[in-house]
Amino acid sequence: MRVIIVGGVAGGASAAARIRRLDERAEIVIYERSGYISYANCGLPYYIGGIIEDRDDLTVQTPEGFRKRFQIDARPHHEVTDVDAQNKTVTVRDLLSGKSFTDHYDKLLLSPGAKPVLPDYPWITQKNVFTLRTVEDTLRIRAYAEERHVKRAVIVGGGFIGLETAENLMAKGISVTILQRGDQLLPMLDRDMASFIHAKLRAKGAAVVLGADAATHACIGEADMIVVAVGVTPETTLARAIGLRTGKKGAISVNDRMETSHPDIYAVGDAVEIRHRVTGEILPIALAGPANKQGRIAADNICGRESHYAGSLSSSVIKLFDMTAAATGINEKTAKRLGLSYERVVLSPASHAGYYPGARVMTMKVLYEKSTERLLGAQIVGTDGVDKRIDVLATAIFAGLPATALKDLDLAYAPPYSSAKDPVNMAGFIIDNIESGLVAQFHHDELPHIRTLENTCLLDTRTPTEYARGHADGFINIPLDELRNRLHELDPSKRIYIMCQSGLRSYLSARILSENGFDCCHFSGGYRFYESVLLDREAAATAHPCGAEK
């Protein structure tokens, strides 16, 4: 059996190695048009900032390594330009010599990946404009920054690549402005959770400009370097030429065996559309984890083993300075778009036991379906322990656990790593309290409407010192520890909306009031969460077009 793989990196390279493990006699050829067969795509921004010092560390496997260990013929600088599916041949162009030749296959695997979106901006062809997708791209960006002594850079786009590049350019002492067309960075998060990301970047000195039209933005002309990172689109030029069936964004349609619409042609990675496990939607998901799994599954089926792709949760994580942001499943924006009836809980647990030094607060947001308690998604922003908790939540969603079952998970505990009630357990306790009717809650986006209602009381149960440092408009202050003795100050005919710093004291206050006959509900996330959202809106409203404050 002769297998030709078009494209290496994650999907193609993992498929090639798996095929060899399953079939010692197979002839395996990888044609990769870049100069690198298998490289750490997600590590590219960190070479720019010098965190990864040696460019060779970006290479996961070399052509020589493939030949020596796996007897795989891996050829960089080779582009497959045509496929004759009828006769099972490919036309290949050697990009170094310019010569073309024909090769034949029994099985063909396409792993062409995705290409950066290049909007039709008037300045897009300038020599100081870059995209970041390949090793060659990251080498060019770092060389340009160092050789030209770049002082000011503009990042167009606020996704993973844009923000990681921004951080790493800032590590080189370069002033960075981030232009984002939408109203937030990191679209995997909801706007309220993204407020912490905006604040971190601004605190580190980056200018964050939301709602920006990069095509005509004033600071473009002032930049020494521009990195365009507005997203990627599936690279399906070859697939369309073959006549393969395609779907959303032109991505290659495959079944769960990674088979395309043509016999003996498989496809994997960023170029294909796959099933989202929460929504059931078929769409492209450009992440390394799914690509690697798909490569393995395609290899299994090529070699006669029955293997099926289970779908993706779009689980992702990003490091920004000392902060980590992670998400799995879907966010509120998607839940609303799909018309799902959902509930959300927001909490601010510590990364580990509070009495052990170094505990840091994280903010967690968990979504679930009201009628079924089906977990829909989660978002976490913090420092230590974020990645651990998002993986637990992703596993719970994948396994189909109901949201209330989070309280029952038996998770490892020692003071340096967690609390006896892990943050994931705490999310489950809160959801169980809500679903059992023990407490009601309200959210920051409901406050404007609540303030217009009659027969209501807004109550802040933090300490007077905390209240004096800042509080939401209209809230009176009765500290939790004084509440039982001051119940006479509250009107039992009014519904009481309670806020504290993180949500714990407001919950305890709600239980006291409920047991004494009051109608009440508590604020999800606490004043800490409310303040982050409020300050972010104010910062966005007062930002200068090129980032400086008015």
CA 305 to chain centre: 32
CA dihedral of residues 526, 531, 536, 542 (deg, nearest 10):
160
In eight-state DSSP terms, residue 494 is S
Q: What is the per-residue DSSP string for 431-481? A: HHHHHTTS--EE-GGGHHHHTT-SSEEEEE-S-HHHHHH---TT-EE--HH
Give, in degrees to the nearest 5, the angle at Cα 126 between 121 and 128. Answer: 115
Instruction: Give every CB contact of residue 313 below 8 A, 6+ residues apart in sequence.
Output: 276, 277, 278, 328, 329, 394, 397, 398
CA 519 to chain centre: 39
Q: Which one from 42, 500, 520, 521 is the annotated catalytic residue?
A: 42
Give the containing element (helix H, strand E) for 508.
Answer: helix 504-515
Query: Across the 550 residues of the chain, what is the mean pLDDT of every consecutive 10-residue run?
Result: 94 95 97 88 90 86 90 96 96 97 98 94 95 94 96 96 97 96 96 97 96 90 95 94 93 98 97 97 94 97 97 97 98 97 97 94 97 97 97 98 98 95 97 97 96 96 97 97 97 97 97 97 97 92 62
How far from each other are the two terminal CA atoms of the chain, in whole angstroms?
67
| Whole-angstrom distance, CA of residue 140 vs CA of residue 150 | 13
Task: Tell me what pLDDT residue 547 has.
Answer: 59
Q: CB–CB of 445/534 below 8 Å?
A: no
| Whole-angstrom distance, CA of residue 229 vs CA of residue 106 | 38
Whether 303 sits among the annotated catalytic residues: the reply is no
Task: Tell me what pLDDT residue 54 has.
Answer: 87
Task: Tell me what pLDDT residue 541 has.
Answer: 82
Buried b (16+ CB within 10 A) or exposed e, 364-377: bbbbbbeeebbbbb
Q: CB–CB of 99/117 below 8 Å?
A: no
| Whole-angstrom distance, CA of residue 384 vs CA of residue 258 | 37
Q: In the structure encoding, which two tokens stand for residue 371, read together?
A: 């009628």
pTM, entire model: 0.95
Task: Tell me what pLDDT residue 59 has.
Answer: 80
